[in-house]
Structure 1
């Protein structure tokens, strides 16, 4: 299905997650103005998934990452591409919160579809789909 709206953004550094959230809010605002239905819960899920994927890409890989968003009639596609071929690894969550470990678990529960594909042998794209409406 052809995307209704698309956005692409190169991200790096400590402000990457905030920039990514801004992109998600912007594309959802455009979708709403165009008459598409995006529930508040779906928007929140897309914000959390995007923030987590971008934060992990910036924290655990070298170089910048890119964010590609696409709004389709059935949902929001979130693609985060980085320069590490290593897939995300689930970790045992730290109950104190000090060491994290909740990110991939959170993404796995919120995304309706989640996949990882290699990019040019020296990177990967993590794809998440959030169903809307």
Structure 2
């Protein structure tokens, strides 16, 4: 099957609650599996990596900001752009990971997995964390 002329995209608005990361994770998983049917091959390991990155970014948005967030996914040329936008202007901070499981690993994992990571201000005073990862072989 030949891919369409318009790269696949997905947008999801998320409330700042405990279900946000799970909803974002499910949406990412479904999105990446559905694009294969549209002629865009995605490696299984890349699905796992993308789901992990989205889960970490949305979890951080919920944990460290006071408002809702959104997730945008766009696939092009074997790369997945992931944008998580939230209401805080404060950039993520790398913390020393806690061995007891209480956090500190997320931002380190995101930066390790991603091909590109940028923190961009939004016009509403928040930020967008843009991450690009390779998803095709």
Q: TM-score, normalized by length of structure 2?
A: 0.91
Q: Does 1:90 align with 2:94?
A: yes
Aligned to 2:113: 110
Deviation at 1:17, TM superposition (A): 0.6
CA distance in 2, matches of 1:37, 1:65: 28
* Structure 1 spans left out of the alignment, 5+ residues: none
Residue 25 of structure 1: how far off its partner (Å): 1.4
1:73 Cα offset (Å): 2.1
Deviation at 1:121, TM superposition (A): 5.4
Rate the CA distance shift 1:92–1:3 in 2: closer, same or farther, 3 A.
farther
- Structure 2, gaps ≥5 residues long: none
1:6 corresponds to: 9
The correspondence of residues 1-133 of structure 1 with structure 2, limited to 5 A, is: 4-12=7-15, 13-97=17-101, 99-120=102-123, 122-133=125-136
Please provide the CA RMSD for this pair.
1.3
Offset at 1:84?
0.3
- Tell me by how many angstroms 1:132 deviates: 1.9
Aligned-pair CA distance for 1:24: 0.5
Q: Report the number of matched residues.
A: 131
The normalised TM-score by structure 1 is 0.93
- Secondary structure, counterpart of 1:45 in structure 2: helix
CA distance in 2, matches of 1:3, 1:113: 22
